[in-house]
Amino acid sequence: MLLSQRGLTNVRVQFADGPGDAKYVFPFWDQEWTVRRVLLDMMGGRPLVLPAPVDAATEETLRTSSTKGAARTLADTRPEEYAGLHHFDVAWVLRGMLGPSESLRHAVLRTNLAGKAKAGTEKVHDVEFDERLEHLTWVVTQDRTFLTRRYGREKLAFRDLR
């Protein structure tokens, strides 16, 4: 089952030491389409960063062997940790997150593919992941006529998105 970034909202997170709720789940992946970390925008708490992959995920639940205490807060990460990574935040939710420094906020925002276009006509509309958030599987684009296309790793280079 594929997980759509647009569907990773209001997710129950089952940590090893108990549950929590995330408003949004943002996987960050590299040039090889491998998810390196997962950012959780926690309800009533600071954003947390988990190592990827997770144990299991659906668009309703995410299960991880990490404890809440072992998860790093976004503010505890360094801007250079996001160099070469990508994420998709169509609503630019991360722009308004509390806690991270201005340099960290800018480093994270630079990784967002929202608004990027392939060949100037097809904008990134969504991204889809496997059920462990281990790999990005598809980049979904949409053109002005709402024609949707899916691109796999062999058909799309992130450097071509503008």
Q: What is the pLDDT of residues 150-160, one digit of tens each?
A: 999 999 888 88
* Cβ–Cβ < 8 Å for 116, 124: yes
Q: What is the pLDDT of residues 114-146, one digit of tens each?
A: 988 877 788 999 999 999 999 999 999 999 999
pTM: predicted TM-score of the whole model, two decimal places: 0.94
pLDDT at position 94: 86
pLDDT at 31 over 90: yes
pLDDT at position 161: 86
